[in-house]
Structure 1
Amino acid sequence: MTDLHRLTIRELSEGLQQAQFSSRELTEHYLKRIAKIDTKVKSYVTVTAEQALAEADAADAVLKAGNASVLAGIPLAHKDIFCTKGIKTTAGSKILDNFISPYDATVVAKAKAAGLVTLGKVNMDEFAMGSTSESSYFGATGNPWALDHVPGGSSGGSAAAVAADLAPIATGTDTGGSIRQPASFCGLTGLKPTYGRVSRFGMIAYASSLDQGGPMARSAEDCAYLMNVIAGHDAKDSTSINKEVDDYVANLNATSVKGLRIGIPKQYFNVSGLDAEVKARVEESLKKLEEMGASLVEIDLNMTEAYVPTYYLIAPAEASSNLSRFDGVRYGYRCENPVDLMDLYKRSRSEGFGAEVQRRILIGTYALSAGYYDAYYVKAQKVRRLIQQDFLKAFENVDVIAAPSAPTTAYKIGANLSPTEMYLGDIYTLAVNLAGLPAINAPVGFDQESLPVGLQLIGNYWSESQLLSIVHQYQQNTDWHTKRASVAEETA
């Protein structure tokens, strides 16, 4: 019972269904690991031990009755951007440090309905704005592969928790790469679904036309299990698409790699900031896919240089609008002894929001202001359409598009990247959100410092099954997804 954390989701499910161990035993195993190991990693903001054990007991009762769902009794961690009834939901911000949600996000409600056990809420960049998880009010999370390095962001806590075996699976959100980049930095598989595939109801908004929830786990198979639970239409979310949901687990071998056309954008592999070792590992993984029967097709994505400026006009503009609700009046942090209403607004927001969030609010407010709206925001939306058309044209000739997930491996904590350096680190992930496409990260090796490298595969709309299937078959022929950091090897 000491190595339950080494089991896959399928093995955990089979073990629970066959009564080899109970959900309580499994949950206690993870809670012990969190108590011992998370003092180093610092992935959790809130550990819900009492609730987790109660949910585990309920799952055990259903399992004993013989009518449990496939994932009943399996623990998971939620990114602290999903509202959880009766549990603190902070979005990594001081302004929400005292916020107890009165309801569950749809993703959380679906997980509960499937019998999954919530271990707690994990750390993230404040309001999902960042690529390192250092902007969190609760401090930086360490990368399990090198604790003095960042786990990526904004879903850094989700990635670190899974990579350290402090949860078998976790939810994340992706607005500009926030599932794929931390998955890359921590050696995990992470899927950003098509926009509208997973409900955003109860997910604290950063940029509403870009945000999308998804799974983070060790393998494509593990991700597929969680996707089967969280994907689907939700009437509470006006951007949710009413489209039939695949059985992602059943489809894991449905796409043949033999004959698959993988697009290689020449612009992506000539980016000046692309690390040589990252490039080498990605090219090695593409060679492996070629050996498995795929063909590599060089393509042009001519809008590449527009990704960063377009995203960093649209996302902050939406953020400035979404975050206007945090005013110190209705809920969240309120400054002490305001002299008048204006003082209450100004001080509550300046004291409650961190530097990066304030920076993006100011950029967004400027872009939306009179005299600049047409020159910046409207123009960025027009360029966004051109970026989308660029991808659609490419998909006329290829099935998926390959790229690095990030130009480098994980940064050191406290590297103090300038905002521009941090934004340019998202060069490979931003366009997927601008176009609303699905994309997945798969671990494909390490650099000389033993830090993980990730391959990103971008699919056409609604091709989550295809992406999971390709990565699953790649993982049947490689073992990168089974590698574990030394901190994950520790016993509780």
Structure 2
Amino acid sequence: MTNLTELTLAEIRGGVAAGTFKAVEVAESFNAAVADAQAALNAFIVTTPEAALAAAAKVDADRAAGKPLGKMAGVPIGMKDLFATKGVQTTAASKILAGFKPEYESTVSQKLWDAGAGMLGKLNLDQFAMGSSNETSAFGNVISPWRRPGDTAPLAPGGSSGGSSAAIAARLCPAATGTDTGGSIRQPAAFTGISGIKPTYGRCSRWGVVAFASSLDQAGPMARTVTDCAIMLEAMAGFDPKDATSLDMPVPDWSAALSADLRGKKVGIPREYRLDGLSADVAKSWDDGIAWLKDAGAEVVDVSLPHSKYALPTYYIIAPAEASSNLARYDGVRYGLRDLPDGANLQDMYAATRAAGFGPEVKRRILIGTYVLSAGFYDAYYTQAQKVRTLIARDFEEAFKQCDVILAPTAPSAAFALGEKSADPLEMYLNDVFSVPASLAGLPAMSVPAGVDAQGLPLGLQIIGRPFDEQGVLNAGLAIEQRAAFSAKPEKWW
């Protein structure tokens, strides 16, 4: 019997549909893998083996009855614990929501269940999606399944979707949901040797997703292959009247239209991304990617994104400002944690609850956000940042007059060890230097594995596309995937 946990999403879906194996067998295999790895990797906050089995049993029954099967039929997935799941604890990895069980289902998760997917559990993440290493979770760090040769130091799986990336890389699930505010799908994908796509802002509903920065947050799929990401994105995307920012556009059949033939396409290489001190391994993988896309028939052109150097400071004004507004709802009154000291009034309860419930990184960003929104500094910081954001988006518009997609590194380095950067927030924020510009502009962007560095750790390449052109991004990703022939996987030590 094939080891079912080694199969891709497409292979599982095809095998279930063909009757090669049953969906319940798949769910049982992944449930066992999750249980086996949980103590070592801490990828899940809550496991739901019964939910995975129930969804699988329904798929098997539907197939036996000759009913049509959904796009995700028989595929058990991990659900990032930022998506509300009815009756299942949803915490955003924060103490302030410990024990919270929603009475409703997020639009994205409901779409996936309707498409035949089953839930293996709720995946760990950086608290409120704020972080690049999965070290800010109130439920403990996620440990990457990857290790440096001859070294047992735990590595960061990236963030904030580190539980998702670690679980997929360790073969605990074939695919998982992620969210990307400034790179939280792409950077973890690069760190763990998997693929992940942030679609155009508005493609996937934000309804029922715990908010961080509402003008930036976007859900997307993470999986081992470009094809798997395309299939899962088809199930996740679509118009939702409950989300005012949702795109009222049909969902294309991205997986059916996948093509690695890039003849007639132009790929832009942004000169500003050649940073001083860029890792030699990352620079080489970028050069490899350029050669692969040329081999696929694309023409490579030089483009300029002159305001990219302002993207990080712009992001770290806008995102905390929106977070300080969004997180004001956690006050201990209606749900979640309540800390009520003896003799306390309402303001004392607010202060005590937030002090106990929010972690240090969340507090840091709330303070920054509240500061830049305050009366004396609003124009100097927040208004200026919004103007620069417009200039960054305009840079991309100009670049896309000369090219169809843009190729860049996903992250400035391979995965680092836990604790290596946590003492310096600015150094940690620099992890997002290549991913933030596309987020600020609301563009579709994908990371695909491109090889390994000198230590054998995965490196990712990022493809950025025009608004609504997920197909172009996926096609360029497929061209890289086929030529990189990335087959490295972590050696099992857990």
* TM-score over 0.5 (shorter chain): yes
Q: Corresponding residue for 1:206?
A: 212
Stretch deviating more after TM superposition (353-362 or 67-76): 67-76
Aligned to 1:142, what secondary structure does the other structure show?
Answer: coil
Q: Corresponding residue for 1:113?
A: 114
Q: Is the 8 A contact 1:273 1:407 kept in 2?
A: no
Structure 2 gap ranges (5+): 148-152
Q: Is the 8 A contact 1:145 1:450 kept in 2?
A: no
> What is the CA-CA distance between 1:336 and the residue it aligns to?
4.2
Cα deviation digits, residues 448-473 of structure 1 (max 9, x gap): 11110000010000011111122123
1:360 aligns with 2:365: yes
Q: Is the 8 A contact 2:411 2:432 kept in 1?
A: yes
Query: What aligned pairs does 1:311-390 form with structure 2 within 5 A after superposition?
Result: 311-338=315-342, 339-390=344-395
2:164 to 125, 150, 158: 158
Q: Is the 8 A contact 2:132 2:184 kept in 1?
A: yes
Query: What aligned pairs does 1:72-471 form with structure 2 within 5 A after superposition?
Result: 72-146=73-147, 148-253=154-259, 256-269=261-274, 271-338=275-342, 339-415=344-420, 416-471=422-477
Distance 1:444 1:104 in 2: 36
Query: What aligned pairs does 1:64-79 form with structure 2 within 5 A after superposition?
Result: 64-67=64-67, 68-79=69-80
Distance 2:66 2:307 in 1: 54
Q: Is the 8 A contact 1:445 1:454 kept in 2?
A: yes
> What is the CA-CA distance between 1:2 and the residue it aligns to?
5.3
Distance 1:299 1:412 in 2: 34
Name the amino acid aligned to 2:415. A
Distance 2:333 2:233 in 1: 37
> What is the CA-CA distance between 1:37 and the residue it aligns to?
2.0
Distance 1:184 1:341 in 2: 45
Q: Is the 8 A contact 1:63 1:72 kept in 2?
A: no
Query: What aligned pairs does 1:22-33 form with structure 2 within 5 A after superposition?
Result: 22-33=22-33
Structure 1 gap ranges (5+): none
Q: Corresponding residue for 2:150?
A: none
Distance 1:88 1:259 in 2: 49
Distance 2:304 2:28 in 1: 51
Distance 1:452 1:393 in 2: 32
Aligned to 1:382, what secondary structure does the other structure show?
Answer: helix
> What is the CA-CA distance between 1:256 and the residue it aligns to?
3.1
Name the amino acid aligned to 2:55. E
Cα deviation digits, residues 300-358 of structure 1 (max 9, x gap): 11002110111011000000000000001111111143521111000100110000000
Distance 2:424 2:484 in 1: 36
> What is the CA-CA distance between 1:169 and the residue it aligns to?
0.4
Stretch deviating more after TM superposition (275-284 or 332-341): 332-341
Distance 2:155 2:237 in 1: 32
> What is the CA-CA distance between 1:417 and the residue it aligns to?
4.3
Stretch deviating more after TM superposition (257-266 or 152-161): 257-266
Distance 1:304 1:101 in 2: 39
Identity of aligned residues (%): 48
Distance 2:84 2:340 in 1: 26
Aligned to 1:63, what secondary structure does the other structure show?
Answer: helix
Distance 1:385 1:273 in 2: 28
Stretch deviating more after TM superposition (288-297 or 354-363): 288-297
TM-score norm. by structure 2 comes to 0.96
Distance 1:230 1:70 in 2: 10
Distance 2:101 2:444 in 1: 32
> What is the CA-CA distance between 1:487 and the residue it aligns to?
2.2
> What is the CA-CA distance between 1:273 and the residue it aligns to?
4.3
RMSD: 1.3
Stretch deviating more after TM superposition (416-425 or 168-177): 416-425
Greater than 4 Å deviation, 4+ residue runs: none
Name the amino acid aligned to 1:298. D
> What is the CA-CA distance between 1:57 and the residue it aligns to?
1.2
